[in-house]
A and B are shown apart, each in its own frame.
Chain A
Amino acid sequence: NAGVTQTPKFQVLKTGQSMTLQCAQDMNHEYMSWYRQDPGMGLRLIHYSVGAGITDQGEVPNGYNVSRSTTEDFPLRLLSAAPSQTSVYFCASSFKIWAGQETQYFGPGTRLLVL
């Protein structure tokens, strides 16, 4: 199993550009989520999904869209990049719907710089 994979590893964007961060898992996990990690802030939940076709907002959803058309994939779209979105983005997944009782498996992260 590859686990949780994320692409790209690094990305530089100009303000106003859009892009999609890819996340895929091959463990047949129901629950998937996106976080951003900023210095001194901890990981903050952007969006999450409890299964294909079901998504919901986390703590900091503004400026981001998600969709979950398959169990495996959970892409994160930046609609119009802003410097405040400069961060490290992690995708995570777990087997059961209720994330609280399950180990979260994280992808290696995407480092995004918005100029």
Chain B
Amino acid sequence: RKEVEQDPGPFNVPEGATVAFNCTYSNSASQSFFWYRQDCRKEPKLLMSVYSSGNEDGRFTAQLNRASQYISLLIRDSKLSDSATYLCVVTDDYKLSFGAGTTVTVRA
């Protein structure tokens, strides 16, 4: 079983729509959680950290459910520029585990 699993998508949504997707992790002792964004053939970049209480950054909302071992990302009012692959990252001590990514395509 993979440590971090994501629905690969793709999620094809119109501009202005809301899109949400989850990521599940297998290690209950995981300590920190992040969402990274990766554009085609580019390096990953941090989108946001995920806190137990949930957190927002503009149009992006991240949630953590430790009991069910999943994190979620919701994008409101989607923009064309949100088209990317979103990587779920879970950490344990010195090691980061990445999901394979969820691809989101926003169409005009």
Contacts and interface: CB of A to CB of B under 8 A. Distances in A.
A109 B43 contact: yes
Contacts of A19: none
B45 A43 contact: no
Interface residues of A, number: 26
A40 B43 contact: no
A99 B96 contact: yes
Interface of B: 2, 4, 8, 31-32, 36, 41-46, 87, 91-101
Q: Which 8 A-B pairs have the closest CB atoms?
A: A100-B91, A106-B43, A100-B32, A42-B100, A43-B98, A42-B98, A103-B46, A100-B31
A108 B43 contact: yes
A99 to B, nearest CB: 6
A47 B42 CA distance: 21
B76 to A, nearest CB: 23
Contacts of A48: 94-95
B31 A43 contact: no
A101 B46 CA distance: 12
Contacts of B95: 45, 48, 58-59, 99
Interface in A84-115: 90, 97-101, 103-104, 106-109
A84 to B, nearest CB: 18
